[in-house]
Structure formats: structure tokens, C-alpha cells
Structure 1
Amino acid sequence: MVEELDKLAFQQKVIDGGGRTLVEFFATWCPHCQAEAPVVDEVAAELEGVVPVYRVDIDRSPEVADRFAPDGVPTFALFDGGQLVERKVGEQPKEELLRMAS
């Protein structure tokens, strides 16, 4: 299960955490996000202990979503040292998410 972050946890684990992290910005009402959920779970399992994978619900943390996922959901954002280094919008194949995190 991929941990869902709120605004405070996002700041602590992604921005202040220092390492590489992959974050999916999603919405519970989004059919593309629902379709992507099993893929994200697989990616998180493969990256366990290497690169943390988190989710941010755009409706629960709109200020974070407005800043890092302004173009819609799902949005996948790779952070390194608290800085956004890559972003992809829309459903992504597992291989692409693994490539982003490597």
C-alpha cells in the first residue's frame, strides 16, 4: 500500500527528506487515477527500500497539488533533494515510472 501524504507529511518526507521520491498526485473521482493505482502499487513494491513512492490526494491537499500538479491528474512527480526534477501527466506505463525513479 502506497502511503498517502497530506500537506505537512509532504513537506517532511518529500521536500525536507533530502532523497529521491516519486509522488503520484491523484483524485478519488478520477477514472485514470483508478486505472493507474495497481501500476503505482507495483512500482512502489519494486522500489521498496530504494526510492519511496507516495500519493497526494489533490482534493485533500489542494495547495500542494496546485504547486506541483497544475495540469491535471494523475500527475507523477520525481523529486530529488526536495526539488522537482521531472513531471509526467496522465497514465504512465510501469516501465516509465521505474525509469523516472532510477
Structure 2
Amino acid sequence: MASEKVGTFGDDNFDTEVLQAGVPVLVDFWATWCAPCKAIAPLIDAIAEEYDGKVKVGKVNVDDNPATPGKYGVRGIPTVILFKDGKVVDQVVGAVPKAQLEALIKKSL
């Protein structure tokens, strides 16, 4: 079960929720059929809980929202991209350890 602190972003609300956010935003691009995406889901949830108030965390289902992943060159999933002030700060592709996701976040804090 996903944490209630993890938002759902899509083509319709990405600009408002991510690009115009007042805090850094960690976005997990995923799909329901993606096993590595399921593997990192608990890590995304944990980060959302631990960094609540400092970093906004959300997911984009690439099957339901094809425009946004295309705009950011998402070719493989899971892809986790960190945005700050409307710009890409860094990204990782694949099921990576929590420490690697935290290192991504620390670049923006």
C-alpha cells in the first residue's frame, strides 16, 4: 500500500504539482507491469515519510500519462527524477538502493 504522502502526478497536473512546487520534488516514473518499479515502491514510500515537509514525492504512471515521460526522455522504468525550481537536478534509472535515492535528494537540500 502506497503512503498517503506520495502524490499522483500526470500530464494534467505535472506543471502545477512539480514544476511550480516550492520545494524539491522526487518523481518516480513507473508502470503497473514493471517488477523493478514494484521493488522500489517501498523505498519511495519511506522517503516520502522521512522527508515530509522538505521534499514532495510523487509518481507518474507512464502508461496513463505518456506526454510527461516523453518530455523528460524517460526511456526505461523505473526512472526517478529530482526536480528543483522547475528544473531537473538529477535522475537515476532502475531499481536502486535507498541510499542512492537519498543521495539524489541531498543534492537539492
Question: TM-score w.r.t. structure 1 length?
Answer: 0.93
**Maintained 8 Å contact 2:23/2:54:** no
If each structure's helix is expressed as a fraction of its own residues, which one has the higher value?
Answer: 1
Distance 2:71 2:23 in 1: 20
Instruction: Say how many residue pairs are matched.
Output: 102
Q: Which of 36, 43, 51 is the matching residue for 2:40?
A: 36
SS of equivalent to 1:88: strand
Q: Which residue type is aligned with residue 32 of structure 1? A: P
SS of equivalent to 1:87: strand
CA RMSD of aligned residues (A): 1.2
Among all aligned residue pairs of Structure 1 and Structure 2, give the percentage whose two residues are the same amino acid.
35
SS of equivalent to 2:44: helix
Structure 2, gaps ≥5 residues long = none
> Where has structure 1 moved over 3 Å in runs of 4 or more?
none
Question: TM-score w.r.t. structure 2 length?
Answer: 0.87
**Maintained 8 Å contact 1:86/1:100:** yes
